Amino acid sequence: MQPGALGGASGPRPSARRLVPGPLRRPAVALLAACVLLTAVVGIRFAGYRLPGWLDAAFGPRIQAHLGRFPDLLNWLPDVGTLGPVTMMTLALVLACAAARRWSGAALAVVAVPLAVGLTEYVLKPSVGQAIGQSFPSGHATSMFALAATCAVLLADPPRRRVPGGVRLLLALAALGLAVAVAVAMVAIGAHVFTDAVGGAAVGTAVVLACALTLDLLASAVDARRREPALP
């Protein structure tokens, strides 16, 4: 039998179980902190009472001018970020992880995407968004970036690397590109301003990273407990 073929052999299997591999943990923590800070700065400093904020005034009209030339695209692209498609894409990720018996990945998709959407719609919009006078952060951007970040985490270090690293990188970039497209489309149709989209992107990414790192900590704690010698 080849080492590690069944996941129970000796070797670097414990680290392979982690959602965020060791070399990427510090960058993931740094990105998480940056997303939290960005959400606070954009929501408090640049958005709200001075509508349109200089960021919104600088980027919003340009986005609308450029994408306004593609009305057919703007007719369907915002629908990708609605509840139905987001639910189906989340379910697809869960089923893919279940088929690969990667239960931590399935748990990440089940928890992180709904948590990001719930945090935006039921906590941040009614509090921060209402306080600054706009629909902040964008729910479409939140959900799509949560899905993109989940895909990136799942593709970073899969247990069975049957797909080459270059292909996995392209898949992650494709998910990110779709998230950016949906967020920008919401600005182009006037449903959100630029800072709403930026805030949604930061919230969605931060929630996924926080959930992935938390699941890894729980897995490490379980492993440590299993290694403890049994009491006589």
Per-residue pLDDT tens digits for 88-130: 999 999 999 999 899 999 999 999 999 999 999 999 999 887 8
Taking 80 as the threshold, does the pLDDT of residue 224 lie above it?
A: no
Taking 60 as the threshold, does the pLDDT of residue 12 lie above it?
A: no
Proportion of the chain above pLDDT 90, given as a percent: 68
pLDDT at 55: 83
3-state secondary structure of 111: helix
Give, as one character, the DSSP assignment of residue 81.
G
Exposure on the CB side of residue 45, measured as CA atoms within 13 A: 7
pLDDT at 60: 92
pLDDT at 46: 67
Q: Cβ distance 203 to 33 under 8 Å?
A: no
Spatial distance between the Cα atoms of 130 and 124, rounded to a whole number of angstroms? 9
DSSP string, 146-202: HHHHHHHHHHHS-SS--S-HHHHHHHHHHHHHHHHHHHHHHHHTTSS-HHHHHHHHH
Closest CA to 184 of 87, 64, 47, 51: 64
Q: Cβ distance 200 to 140 under 8 Å?
A: yes
Place of tokens 């000796």: 10
Better-predicted residue by pLDDT, 68 or 202: 202
